[in-house]
Chain A
Amino acid sequence: GDSVTQMEGPVTLSEEAFLTINCTYTATGYPSLFWYVQYPGEGLQLLLKATKADDKGSNKGFEATYRKETTSFHLEKGSVQVSDSAVYFCALRGGATNKLIFGTGTLLAVQP
């Protein structure tokens, strides 16, 4: 079945460091891919998405490119801030179902 594999955290960075959180997927057909962010004690917020191969999603300085050849959707940000500290979830929605399949989440801690 469809699945998402996400790098384990926690990831600890200093402010202004470069961020990469790896995400790979397994799916039949052509899934849509998402990154969600969860701040402490809150629900999930959509950060960015891509619906087809080579699409780049971007928001708030974060980017991710849908790579079909490597089945990846890695999240990147050039300069993280303390306020980016949160849990980041990679997710896919397959073509055969409306279910959103999540990775296990990666905790990002940014230190001043």
Chain B
Amino acid sequence: GAVVSQHPSRVICKSGTSVKIECRSLDFQATTMFWYRQFPKQSLMLMATSNEGSKATYEQGVEKDKFLINHASLTLSTLTVTSAHPEDSSFYICSASENDRPNSGYTFGSGTRLTVV
């Protein structure tokens, strides 16, 4: 089945530094990928829609200069948290839908636990 690999699974960084998270579709092509942030008590917030070869579409209230998204190929999207602060600490999850199977649902990565100290 479809697999999405997300890396790293855990990262600790200092305040003011930047962190890059990768999301790869391993055995399918995905024109569109999605980035979510998961807050305590489980809720998932859609941050942005990543589009291959074009600019990402950000949800209301998400700072595009803070959370940089690049989708340079049909199998890779990256999220860079710039100038990280402790309040950016969270669980970030990506997902992708197979181009050839639009009704198959989305495949999720295993998530990245970011801790900013």
Q: Which residues of A contact B (CB under 8 A)?
A: 32, 34, 36, 38, 42-46, 49, 51, 87, 89, 98-102, 104-105, 107
Q: Which of B43, B44, B95, B111 has the most CB of A within 10 A?
A: B44
How many residue-residue contacts, CB under 8 A, span A and B? 50
- List chain A residues, Cβ under 8 A from B34: 99-100
- List chain A residues, Cβ under 8 A from B42: 38, 87, 89, 104-105, 107
Question: Would B108 and A99 count as touching, CB distance under 8 A?
Answer: no
- List chain A residues, Cβ under 8 A from B109: 43
Q: Which size bracket describes the interface of B in this complex?
A: 20 to 34
Give A82 Cβ to nearest chain B Cβ, in Å.
20
- Whether B25 sits at the interface, judged by CB under 8 Å, is no
Give B52 Cβ to nearest chain A Cβ, in Å.
13
- Whether B58 sits at the interface, judged by CB under 8 Å, is no
Nearest residue, chain B, Cβ from A98: B32
Q: Which of B6, B42, B49, B93 has the most CB of A within 10 A?
A: B42
Nearest residue, chain B, Cβ from A51: B103
- List chain B residues, Cβ under 8 A from A32: 103, 105
